[in-house]
Structures are given as C-alpha cells and as structure tokens.
Amino acid sequence: MPSYLGREGNVFVMLAAYVAVTVVAAIACASAAVLSLTHHRSVVRTAERLRVPVSWQVPLGAVLAAGSLGLLVGFAVPVLGTAAAVGLVAYFLCAAGAHLRARDTRPLAWVNWTVFFSVALAALVVRLAHHGPW
C-alpha cells in the first residue's frame, strides 16, 4: 500500500475490495442458482454426467441462492455474511468431490469450478480481513 494513503486510505481500499468482491461473488452465485432452479440444460447435463440426481437441482440451487443472499445480508449482519461465505466455499469443495468421484476430466468443467470456488474463497478472505471472524 502506498504510504501516502495513510491509515484512512488503507481502510478505504479494504472496504472497496470487500464490497467489490462480495458483490461479484453474490452475482456469480445468484446466476448459478437461477440456472439450477430453472433446470437449465447445461446444469442438467452436468448433473447427469456427474451422476447427481436431477431432483437435487432445486435444493442445490436454493443453497446457492441462500449463500448469495447471505453474502449481501452480511453487509448489515457480518456474522451471517461470514457463515454464507463459509457455506459457499464448502459447497464448491463438495462440487469438486462430485467431479472427482465421477472422474470428470473435462478442462472446461474444472475451469468453471475454479472460477466459482475462487470467487467464493475470495469473498471469505476479504470478509475476514475486513471484519474478522465475527
């Protein structure tokens, strides 16, 4: 951080990063939730390839939607935002497990997972850096 910003500048930069990363993560997870809740063809094909019952799409989409909403509510209630970010990181780790279990070697699937996992993890990291654990 440049020294000319001083403490106030560092706080502003951290706040800006926290808000930006959280909003991006919330939008990404909300879009994934919509695709899952509407049984989008790409999500159905992925579920079939991974041998995940298609009937799980609505509950999994609801988890993504709750995580997305939780990230945004976390601006007002930080502990809920932390819980949502932890939940999303766990969700995407479980998704990686499903890909590994099905021996999914498609590079695009792993790029997609990496992007979503990284955004969720970044939301957790900036949240903890800005607010602390609670």
pLDDT tens per residue across span 61-70? 999 999 999 9
Strand ranges inside 18-121, DSSP E? none
Question: Residue 12: which pLDDT band, with cuts at 50, 70 and 90?
Answer: confident
C-alpha closest to that of 126 among 81, 69, 77: 81
Tokens of 117: 């996992």
- From CA 116, how far away is CA 111, in angstroms rounded? 9
Q: Average pLDDT over the chain, rounded to whole? A: 91
* CA-based end-to-end distance of the chain: 25
Question: Residue 11: its pLDDT value, please?
Answer: 79
Tokens of 121: 């993890």
Rg of the chain over all Cα atoms, to the nearest angstrom:
17
